[in-house]
Amino acid sequence: MTISTDKGSVAGATADGVDRFLGIPYAAPPVGTRRWQPPAPASAWSSPRSATAYGSRCPQSPTSTGPGMSEDCLYLNVYTPERRTNRPLPVLFWIHGGGFSSGAGDLYDGSQIAKASNVVVVTINYRLGVFGFLDVPGLSRQGAGNYGLLDQEAALRWTQRNIGAFGGDAGRVTIAGESAGGHSVCALLSSPPARDLFAGAIIQSGGCPSLTVAQATAEGDAYAAAAGCSVPATSVSCLRAKSANELRAADSGFIGGILTGPLPVSGVPELPLAPSVAVRSGRIHNVPLLIGSTRDEVRQWALPFANATKGQYERAVRLEFGAQANAVLAHYPYSAYDSPYTATYAIGTLWGDSSVFYGLGGCQYQNLTAQFATRQPKTYFYEFDDPHPPTLATTPAGFDSGAPHASELGYLWPMETSKSLTPEQQQLSMAMVRYWGAFVKHANPTTGGLAAWPSYRSGKYMSLLPGDDSQALKSEVYADRHQCSFWNSISYDWLTTNPDRLAAQAGVPTS
C-alpha cells in the first residue's frame, strides 16, 4: 500500500489486518551542522519510499537487539487498521520511555492497539542523552537542553500535516507515554509551541520533573569536561568535532542513574515554566487526561538495600528525611516487612508512597492528578495492581518485585513479557487495550462489557487487576494504601541521591 505525504509517497506493508508504515522521516537527519540544533524539515523524495523497515535508533547504550544506532534517527512509524470506514480515525501518538537516555519507537508495535481499538497508532524516535538534552552555553541559538522535546513536537507537526492520508483524524490526536515518555507528555502539556497539536493525553508512570537552565548548564559543563572539552572558549567547537562514539563514551556521568539523568529544561521559550509549576497554576493545555502508575513502582530500585540491616535501613532514612525521620520510621518500621530483603521492601514501600522519585506514584501522584482534575473534568486515574506481572529485570532468588515500574507495558504492547501472561493476565491485557482505545476515541475509558471507569472528580480511581477483577475504588482506598494522610502532613523533598549511593552512605555492603 502506498500513501502520499507532504514530502513524498511511502510504501508500507499489510500483516494480520494492519497496514504498517515504518521508518518515515519526520525531520532532517540531525547530523553535521544540524547536531545540537532544533529539528529541521526533512528533504522531499520523488520515487515511492519503502516503509517496511524501522529507522535507526538514536545513539544510546545498547539495551536490546534491533535496528542499529545512528545520529540519523528522526523516524516514526504508523499503524492503521487495514479495513477502515470513510470516517477519520482517532490517533494514539506514543512517546517511548527510557530515562531520556535509551529506547526507540520500534520497541512498541502498534498493531495490537490499532486493530483491537480501531485507531491509528504513531510511534516515534527522538534524540536522547547528550544528543537530545545537552545544554552548553553557545551550543545553539534555540533549543539547548530540549532538542529531544523539540523532536517530539516536530513529529506531532508531521502528524498534523499527514495523518489524514493514513486515515487518521488530526483533530483527535492523543499523546501518550510511559516513564520518560510520561514526563514528556507533561512537558508537552506545558509547552506553548505544542498548543493545538493534540486533543488528549495519557501519562503512564511519568511525572512533571524538569531542570532549570542553571542546573542543565552545570551538567552540560561537567559533561564537556568529561569529554575533554573543558575550556569554555572552545568547548562548543571541541564537542562538535567529536564523533558520535566519542560523545557516547563520555556520557556515563551525564546519563547518570535513576535520579540524575537528563530531563527537559524549563525557563526557555519551548518550556517557560517548570511543568510542575504549570500544572499547579493551570497554565497548561487543558485536555482530557488518563494518568496512573504501577502499585510497586520503585521496589526494584531499592535492591541496593538487599543486604541492609535494621540499623543501616534506619540510617538511610535519617540521611534522607532528617528531622522527619523518626515519624517516617514510625510509619515504616523495619519489623513490618518480610524477610529476606526486609530493608528493600521497607524502603521501596516508603519511597513509593512518598513519591520521592520525581513525584512518581504514591501520594504526590494522587495530588498531581487532583491538580489536573481541578480544571479538567475528564481526568481519569488508575493503579496497575497485578501482584505478579512478568518482567525482564534480573532479581535475586525469592525477591517479590510486585508490580514494578514499566510492568504494565507488556499488557498494552506486544513485547517479550507479553508471552508470559497467564490467561487471567491476558484478560487484563485486552481490557487495558480496550480502556486505552476508548479513551483515545471518546476521551473516556469506559467501554461496553468492562467495569465502568468514573472520572477522578467523582472521587474514584480504577484498580487494574487480572481476570475480571478490575474495579473502580474510592480515592480514599488509594490514600490509605499509600499512607497519604501521613505524607501529606509533613514537608520533604524529592530524593536526589541514587539508591546505590544512598545505600553506600548508610554502610550497606554490596552483594
Active site residue 179: yes
DSSP string of 109-126, one letter each residue: -THHHHHHHT-EEEEE--
Q: How far is CA 102 from CA 116, 212, 394, 403, in A?
A: 28, 22, 18, 22
417's grid cell:
513479557
Query: What three-state secondary structure class fits 130?
Result: helix
Q: How far is CA 76 from CA 50, 229, 405, 421, in A?
A: 13, 33, 25, 28
Query: What three-state secondary structure class fits 265?
Result: strand
Q: Note whether 301 and 348 are within 8 A (CB).
A: yes
Indicate which residue of 71, 297, 320, 408 is catalytic.
Answer: 297
3-state SS, 368-388, equals HHHHHHHHCCCEEEEEECCCC
In the sheet that holds 49-50, the strands lie side by side as 2-5, 8-11, 49-50
Q: Note whether 129 and 60 are within 8 A (CB).
A: yes
Strands (E), 298-358: none
Q: For residues 425 and 389, give the distance between their C-alpha atoms in angstroms, rounded to a whole number.
A: 8
Q: Note whether 133 and 262 are within 8 A (CB).
A: yes
Indicate which residue of 179, 191, 210, 276 is catalytic.
Answer: 179
Q: Is the peptide bond before 67 cis (omega within 30 degrees of 0)?
A: no
Pick the closest to residue 496 from 308, 333, 331, 321 (CA basis): 321
Instruction: Please name the amino acid found at residue 218.
Output: A
- Half-sphere exposure in the Cβ direction for 25 (13 Å, CA): 19
Indicate which residue of 183, 285, 405, 482 is catalytic.
Answer: 405
How many CB atoms are closer than 10 A to CB 20? 23
Q: For residues 431 and 419, give the distance between their C-alpha atoms in angstroms, rounded to a whole number.
A: 17
How long is the chain?
511
Active site residue 96: no
Helix 342-354 with 310-321: angle, nearest 10 deg: 20
Pick the closest to residue 292 from 414, 377, 206, 351 (CA basis): 206
How many CB atoms are closer than 10 A to CB 27? 23
CA 434, 121, 276, 457 torsion: positive or negative?
Answer: negative
Q: For residues 236 and 136, give the distance between their C-alpha atoms in angstroms, rounded to a whole number.
A: 7
Q: What element of type H or E holds 22?
A: strand 18-25
Q: How far is CA 300 from the centre of its chain?
A: 17
Known catalytic residues are 179, 297, 405
